[in-house]
Amino acid sequence: MLSLSHGARRAKVSFSAGFGEENFGTCVLGDQRRTRRLVRTADAIMAHPGGSLPEKMGDPAMLKGLYRLMDKDTVSHESVIAPHCRQVLEKMRACRGAVLLVQDSTELNYTGKTSLAKGLGHVGRGRGRGYLCHHLLAVEAKQRQVIGLGSQQLYKRPKRRSRESRRHKKERLTKESLLWQQARDRMGEAPGGCTWIDIADRGGDIFEFLEQECQPGRHFVVRSKYSRKLAFAGEQGQQPCLHTWARGLKDQGQKTLLVQAAKGRSKRKALVRIAADRVSIAAPRYPRGQHDDEPLALWVVHVREVDPPEQEDPVEWILLTDLDSSTFEAACQVAEYYAIRWVIEEYHKAQKTGCGIEMPQFTSTDRLEPMIALQSVAAVQLLKLRDAARREETASRPATDVMPQAAVEMLGAWRWGDAQRPMNVGEFVMALARLGGHQNRKSDGLPGWITVWRGWTKLQSMLQGEWTAKSARCG
């Protein structure tokens, strides 16, 4: 549940069943007072996710309390994010449908924070300083509902070692390529009756990771980056390459998919042809990781757009999976699973644009890292707020089931001039988007999380202003 905070001193007010209590109420920080401080801080951040920390807190005393909290040794990245990750794992185990474990990395750039330079890794082309932030985001496949953040790893990319031997590089336990395996291992195995499917873009095309995913009980869909050699001889007696082989497969049929368009443009529908076949991928001749030399027996699903628009690059995915793709319907399901992967890109935008995760001014990484965990969980809530209006079963529920009465009345008064007007969740989110600049026209489509976030922030200011006015009248 999302909660709105308002009161005489905005940041000092929290709701017992609100965002902070739900996600951080069980944090073990060595003192219950620290946990209560973290809960109040989380509510304040959720109420005003954007901007700098002084803007989020809205109160000097609360801001000072936050700095003191982050300075405690028991307040770490792991201790702050652990309760949320445990809740996500419990929800995944209770879900009987397919759950997608979407993995990806994004760079958090703190180059301008000179006091942090020694404690950070290399980002960009090696000149910047920051973290490679690797995420595993759990998504319920049927409804495309974000469950939450299953894992977050803050990786400090080391400077390239020009004289590092191939053997030393292969055996090094701090390799960036191991992040994919480590994130998946943290989730454990799916219990009976559950289906967990790992989803990764081309960054996950690592033979070591693919070999691990081929173990019994695990399932995956990974977009191919490398045109690896196949473990059989072609027509001319040579080993064919994966990408050439996939592009020559016979079409199974055509399907319309909702895909992400070029940067700066909205999603679009693309008519694609789909083909699939079994393949056996040979192990690399010169291994870069700890894996066997045996080939991997997989399915390859080739997705290619038919007649793309002139201003768009054609969609082409060469997908590797263990899921049976022998029929057209099964191959389409694999393509649809991969299409959902884009939600993690939206999550990264929620982190950076919505929550300003690169803005905090700290003098040590020990203080910065728990703040990254706190804001990362807030970013999940922004996505959930948007999704609430898109899911039929939640959109029709009364808005007061998930939102405080004061927020529903304020938004109703602003949108329709009637504070007592009954409103469901879908109407609430659309009105919130209207407050954030969305026109609510059918041709505009459903609002994105940034528009919803803008409306959310404005609504918070309106609630705070109303309370301040009432306080002034009461003396």
pLDDT band at 168 (very low <50, low <70, confident <90, very high): low
pLDDT value of position 166: 61
Structurally, the chain folds into a number of domains equal to 2
> Which token pair is 124?
């960009």
Mean pLDDT taken over the chain: 86
Out of 13-17, 59-63, 68-72, 144-148, least confident range: 13-17
Q: By CB neighbour count within 10 A (0-12 exposed, 13-18 middle, 19+ buried), where does 127 fall? A: exposed
Between strands 145-155 and 219-223, the pairing is: unpaired
**Dist. CA 9–CA 435, nearest whole Å:** 24
Q: Are strands 195-200 and 98-109 parallel, antiparallel or unpaired?
A: parallel
Whether residue 219 has pLDDT greater than 70: yes
Please give the Cα distance from 4 to 112 (Å, whole number).
33
Q: Residue 321: what are its φ and ψ, rounded to 5°?
A: -155, 160
In this predicted model, what pLDDT tens digit does every residue of 295-310 receive, in sequence order?
999 999 999 999 888 8
Cβ 149 vs Cβ 23: under 8 Å: no
Residue 10 pLDDT? 37
Is the pLDDT confidence value at 332 over 50? yes
Tell me if 260 is assigned to some domain.
yes
Are 450 and 432 a contacting pair, CB within 8 Å?
no
For residue 280, the SS3 value is strand
The parent domain of residue 427 ranges over 389-475
Check residue 146 and give its pLDDT: 92
The CATH number given to whatever domain includes residue 219 is 3.90.350.10
Could you count the other beta carbons within 10 Å of the beta carbon of residue 153?
17
pTM, 2 dp: 0.86
CA distance linking residue 244 with residue 224, whole number of Å: 12
pLDDT greater than 90 at residue 89: yes
For residues 182 and 87, membership in a common domain is answered with yes
Instruction: State the CATH number of the domain containing residue 473.
Output: 1.10.740.10
Distance CA 209, CA 205 (A): 7
Mean pLDDT score, 452-456: 81
Q: What is the pLDDT of residues 257-280, one digit of tens each?
A: 988 765 656 678 899 999 999 999
Is 166 part of a structural domain of the chain? yes
Residue 387 backbone class (left: φ over 0; alpha: ψ -120 to 50; beta: rest): alpha
Within a domain: 400: yes
- Say if 53 falls within a structural domain: no
Are 199 and 322 found together in one domain? yes
